[in-house]
């Protein structure tokens, strides 16, 4: 009787939550330390970058590392803004196309009966086992046959299909009650109507999680720039930043490398913060309530 009236997940703070906070807080601090270090490291002046013993927090923050990065990029002939523009365009188009293909394919494989559905599902599951390096040569041959070398589509097409995202979204779609779809069909809805008005609104958490997975794959991808492009002006920011880190291993280049690491990390962090609630819903709820 003593527990009567207590809420499982109260909206306001209660004393009983203190023990949970004390238990989780050390883990949160430990997991957040790399993020804090990356941010602090990018703003350290040269003397702090090589201080001994190493300092975790920056004492005299400066933007010098970022200004050096900009000047170095301009001196190479192609401004940093060009690489950034390429990455933004490629990422937006690829993520949008990938989510469209993923959600439509998940709907078809989970809810529409047609010949070869099980075979296609098994092929997708097998594709999950292959790392990108294993399919690099076939991808290169396909891009060459299509005549897409030094073409923007060479960035987009190889990354448009993501087997892991399709598997995740398909499992989520499969748990939508068939009765909802049958009711929609009885009201005269087409497959497109069901996809837009029934499926998509109910799988928003899975779509948010897939968005993060696809974004990370596209934003951090270097292979398309390395193997499908000889024109440096068509390459992405990730390729340039990694080239910068490899070339500038000298003392003078460490500040630029630290700034580059922060620039590449921030979009992933911001996207996760925006979509974190839906991502947590995907992890916590394996089905539709």
Instruction: Extract the residue ranges of the chain whose pLDDT is less than 70.
Output: 1-14, 16, 245-252, 277-289
Q: What is the pTM of this model?
A: 0.79
State the fold for domain 67-284: MetI-like fold (1.10.3720)
* pLDDT of the residue at 286: 46
Task: Give the burial class of 161: count Cβ atoms within 10 A of its Cβ; 0-12 exposed, 13-18 middle, 19 or more buried.
Answer: middle
Alpha-carbon span 81 to 83, nearest angstrom: 6
Question: Ramachandran region of residue 77, left (φ > 0), alpha (ψ -120 to 50) or beta?
Answer: left
Q: Where are the domains of the chain?
A: 67-284
| Helices and strands: H and E segment counts in the chain | 15, 0
* pLDDT of the residue at 60: 85
* pLDDT of the residue at 41: 84
Per residue in 91-139, pLDDT (tens digit) is 999 999 999 999 999 999 998 888 988 999 999 989 888 887 888 888 8
Task: Give the burial class of 77: count Cβ atoms within 10 A of its Cβ; 0-12 exposed, 13-18 middle, 19 or more buried.
Answer: exposed
């Amino acid at each position: 009787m003593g527990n009567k009236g207590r809420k499982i997940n109260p909206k306001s703070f209660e004393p009983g939550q203190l023990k949970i906070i004390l238990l989780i807080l050390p883990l949160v601090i430990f997991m957040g330390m790399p993020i804090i270090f990356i941010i602090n490291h990018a703003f350290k002046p040269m003397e702090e970058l090589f201080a001994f013993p190493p300092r975790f927090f920056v004492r005299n923050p400066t933007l010098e590392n970022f200004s050096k990065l900009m000047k170095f990029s301009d001196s190479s002939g192609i401004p940093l803004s060009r690489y950034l523009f390429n990455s933004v365009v490629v990422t937006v188009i690829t993520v949008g196309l990938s989510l469209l293909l993923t959600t439509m394919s998940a709907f078809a494989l989970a809810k529409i009966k047609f010949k070869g559905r099980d075979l296609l599902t098994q092929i997708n599951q097998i594709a999950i086992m292959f790392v990108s390096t294993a399919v690099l040569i076939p991808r290169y041959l396909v891009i060459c046959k299509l005549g897409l070398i030094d073409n923007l589509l060479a960035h987009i097409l190889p990354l448009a299909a993501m087997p892991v995202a399709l598997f995740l979204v398909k499992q989520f779609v499969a748990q939508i009650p068939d009765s909802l779809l049958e009711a929609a069909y009885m009201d005269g809805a087409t497959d497109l109507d069901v996809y837009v008005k029934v499926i998509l609104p109910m799988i928003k958490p899975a779509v948010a999680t897939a968005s993060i997975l696809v974004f990370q794959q596209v934003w951090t991808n270097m292979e398309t720039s390395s193997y499908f492009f000889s024109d440096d002006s068509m390459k992405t920011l990730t390729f340039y930043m990694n080239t910068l880190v490899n070339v500038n291993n000298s003392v003078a280049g460490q500040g630029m490398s630290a700034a580059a690491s922060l620039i590449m990390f921030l979009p992933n962090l911001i996207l996760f913060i925006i979509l974190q609630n839906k991502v947590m819903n995907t992890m916590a709820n394996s089905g539709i309530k």
